[in-house]
Amino acid sequence: MSKKSRVTDEEALSYHLEPTPGKLEINASTPMATQRDLSLAYSPGVAVPVQAIADNPATAYDYTTKGNMVAVISNGTAILGMGNLGALASKPVMEGKSVLFKRFADVNSIDLELDTEDPDEFINAVRLMGPSFGGINLEDIKAPECFIIEQRLREEMDIPVFHDDQHGTAVICAAGLLNALHLTGKKIEDCKIVLNGAGAAGIACVELIKAMGAKHDNCIACDTKGVIYQGRTEGMNQWKSAHAAKTTDRTLEEAMTGADVFLGVSAKGAVTQDMVKSMADNPVIFAMANPDPEITPEDAHEVRPDAIVATGRSDYPNQVNNVLCFPYLFRGALDIHARTINDAMKIACAEALAKLAREDVPDEVAVAYGQKLTFGRDYIIPTPFDPRLIYTIPPAVAQAGMDTAVSRKPIVDFDAYTVTLRSRMDPTASMLEGLHNRAKTKNARMIFAEGDDIRVLRAAVAYQRAGLGQALVVGREDDVRDKLMAAGLEDAYRELSIVNARNTEHLDSYRSFLYSRLQRKGYDAQDVHRLASRDRHVFSALMLAHGHGDGLITGATRKSAHVLELLNYALDVSPEDGAVGVTALLRNGRIVLIADTLVHEWPDEHTLADIAERGAATARSLGLEPRVAFVSFSTFGYPVSERAEKMHVATKVLDGRGVDFEYDGEMTVDVAMNLDVMANYPFCRLTGPANVLVVPARHSSSISVKLMQEMGGATVIGPILSGVDHPVQICSTTSTSNDILNMAVMAACNVG
């Protein structure tokens, strides 16, 4: 179970406010630099695809974004369990859903909030926008209007219309149920299934499991008035009536007796331990109420250790998370230009998810979650960050759509399709999420050396509230308190541990240790006292050296070279100690490490080989299989230059060391990273684009990183200090609080 994290109101508002309001932006995907570009993009060039689409509407999928564009639409009548707060208030949620589409399945999405509660007005507005999109994702619309709206739109539109609150939950629930029944040896057609909560999600769950073989009268649905039985008139509607069962049960408690499966989409505490006791052997309990389940796994297992329990929460095993469904379901539907998403496609999605959970879990996923995941009672549903989802689920959905004749563009080569899906993966987000999960398992005490900087304080607060570990802030109590109050984080002051020379009991041992290191380097006792008691970087390094913290973050307020010099008073982080700086650049789903960006000014060929080994080790600690390129302005000997020669010789040095990673050089950056250019050198030993670039000197690395950051918009993490005995990471003076948090996570995971 992962550690719980806490998000404050101030943090949530700041996230949505900075660096620009909201969570989305629109970027052009074609050149827009010249008058010719603009003439092609608009008039007169645009007239050609206009006529092509008028002649053959199917070509809209070829010449516009329609085929990879989903609209997320709501009227805000049922927002996140918060109720009817209106269309405008729903916009942050809909933007978030659009972000998830892009993040997990590379589906472009835009949010639309319709200010009406009239189903006819809503239906007409969406229907009229149909030509713009390849699919419609309905969200946060209250029942029973959501049933009316979805049914009508499915009938009137020729693109997929999918209400995720209903069907997304149903698909994940069905996937988990398939595996739970597999583990217990039960058949769905024989099971007594009890549903509590006959709203949109609950009815969708029952409908889907019936489509998968569950018998009508074996499915007992309950609402706030009790069992929905044949003959009941109170509180009924046509959707509930469709699931009225022949049963003598009248209450949830009665229905639970002898039940094999409980599905809950209702409210906290709706299920008691006595109800769980009365269930059949090996009961399956999906307590999916959010934010708190109908019964917690702890309470269920206390009375029924044989129970398989799933919830909607990420801090328990078996999370029913809709993000496992809707991005990939739409990905498959869009890729066949589907007219609709039908039951066959939803069942295919559920079955593919269930099958994936039964397969061996890749090491990269296990590393990301800090534990070995194996199919069983605590792992019946894949994790949201499993990289196999993108190339496993959409093909199954697409095949089902083709088999049921809702496809306008069948996929001919599924192997090639799988390759294209793999290319849509964004390894950067998975890498960061994996590191955060690893950090949670480490629960490291992180020393934040510069408690006089609000960015550092924000990062320290976020570190602790995210459940990553304990934040130890080096600073003066009154100064830290004032800065937190000014930032609206006054309550965080009581949560953080503020440490300084005045309140520590270890100052004498720190001074003694430091004196033993510096006494033959021209420092007397008074010098040592000033360093230990007045310089927070040295003080923080002494804390780490004595085991009074598990990792150290510094550098946000001083130049990295100066910080490194100060750390060397107490720690061995010099070039002679094997220290190397490795900077990670994240851009457009690609990760590239550049080394050395911190320590070595002008390395020779032997040091370059050392740097390559440290870069490869850092890549592996980030979950990457290293491919190292020694980069230069010369490629394999041309043009000839004395300055490029050492890059060539460095590969010979590695040849003699017998390292276990790919490397080659010297080569220009385009040869190293562009497979088409690399193909001009068939003897190159790299099997793919390089992800570790070893550069000739620190000045060239600095220029490269800054240029990518300013012109290319790359996210920069680092320099990551590698090859040292202590988990120390040095931020840059331009770091944001999020950058500092990422570096703290690196230190917690001992990356490098």
Which sign does the torsion angle of CA 375, 378, 383, 389 carry? positive
Please identify which of the residues 3, 4, 23, 97 carries the catalytic annotation.
Answer: 97
Claim to verify: residue 661 and residue 718 sit in the same structural domain: yes
Per-residue DSSP letter, 135? E
- In 3D space, the residue among 484, 452, 370, 432 whose CA is nearest the CA of residue 738 turns out to be 432
Q: Which residues contact 452 (CB under 8 A, 6 or more apart)?
A: 475, 476, 479, 480, 483, 536, 557
Claim to verify: residue 597 and residue 677 sit in the same structural domain: yes
Q: Please give the helix or strand (H or E) that residue 70 lies within, else none.
A: strand 69-74
Is 83 among the annotated ligand-binding positions?
yes
Residue 405 placed within a domain: no
- Tell me the pLDDT tens digit for each residue of 585-603: 888 778 899 999 888 888 9
CB-based contact 630:650 (threshold 8 Å):
yes
Is 81 among the annotated ligand-binding positions?
yes
Residue 751 placed within a domain: no
Domain boundary (321, 336, 353) is at: 321
Claim to verify: residue 207 and residue 68 sit in the same structural domain: no
Active site residue 559: no
Is 381 among the annotated ligand-binding positions?
no
Give the model's pLDDT for residue 133.
Answer: 97
Claim to verify: residue 130 and residue 196 sit in the same structural domain: no
Which sign does the torsion angle of CA 403, 409, 411, 417 carry? negative
Residue 152 placed within a domain: yes
Residue 714 placed within a domain: yes
Cα–Cα dist 690/678, whole Å: 10
pTM of the model: 0.78
Give the model's pLDDT for residue 1.
Answer: 37
Is 84 among the annotated ligand-binding positions?
yes
The enclosing domain of 50 has a CATH number of 3.40.50.10380
Buried b (16+ CB within 10 A) or exposed e, 196-215: bbbbbbbbbbbbbbbebebe
Report, in angstroms and rounded to the nearest whole number, the Rg of the chain calculated over CA atoms: 29
Is 79 among the annotated ligand-binding positions?
yes
Claim to verify: residue 172 and residue 151 sit in the same structural domain: no
Claim to verify: residue 193 and residue 125 sit in the same structural domain: no
Claim to verify: residue 564 and residue 583 sit in the same structural domain: no
Is 364 among the annotated ligand-binding positions?
no
Cα–Cα dist 344/330, whole Å: 14
Domain limits for position 311: 167-321
Instruction: Record the tokens describing residue 352, joined without a space.
Output: 């593919």
Is 177 among the annotated ligand-binding positions?
no
Cα–Cα dist 669/508, whole Å: 52
Per the DSSP assignment, residues forming a β-bridge with 309 are: 285
The enclosing domain of 592 has a CATH number of 3.40.50.10750
Claim to verify: residue 584 and residue 559 sit in the same structural domain: no
Give the model's pLDDT for residue 429.
Answer: 65
Cα-based distances in Å from 735 to 446, 458, 473, 553, 615: 18, 12, 17, 12, 22
Please state the domain count of the chain: 4
Is 386 among the annotated ligand-binding positions?
no
Residue 137 placed within a domain: yes
Claim to verify: residue 129 and residue 212 sit in the same structural domain: no
Within the chain, how many helices (H) and strands (E) appear?
31, 21
Residue 413 placed within a domain: no
Domain boundary (283, 300, 321) is at: 321
Claim to verify: residue 602 and residue 680 sit in the same structural domain: yes
Give the model's pLDDT for residue 386.
Answer: 85
Is 625 among the annotated ligand-binding positions?
no
CB-based contact 180:284 (threshold 8 Å):
yes
Claim to verify: residue 176 and residue 302 sit in the same structural domain: yes
Give the model's pLDDT for residue 164.
Answer: 94
Give the model's pLDDT for residue 370.
Answer: 61
Claim to verify: residue 465 and residue 494 sit in the same structural domain: yes
Residue 1 placed within a domain: no
Cα–Cα dist 692/722, whole Å: 14
Residue 348 placed within a domain: no
Q: Enumerate residue ranges in the chain where pLDDT < 50.
A: 1-3
The enclosing domain of 299 has a CATH number of 3.40.50.720
Is 86 among the annotated ligand-binding positions?
yes
Give the model's pLDDT for residue 369.
Answer: 64
Domain boundary (321, 336, 366) is at: 321
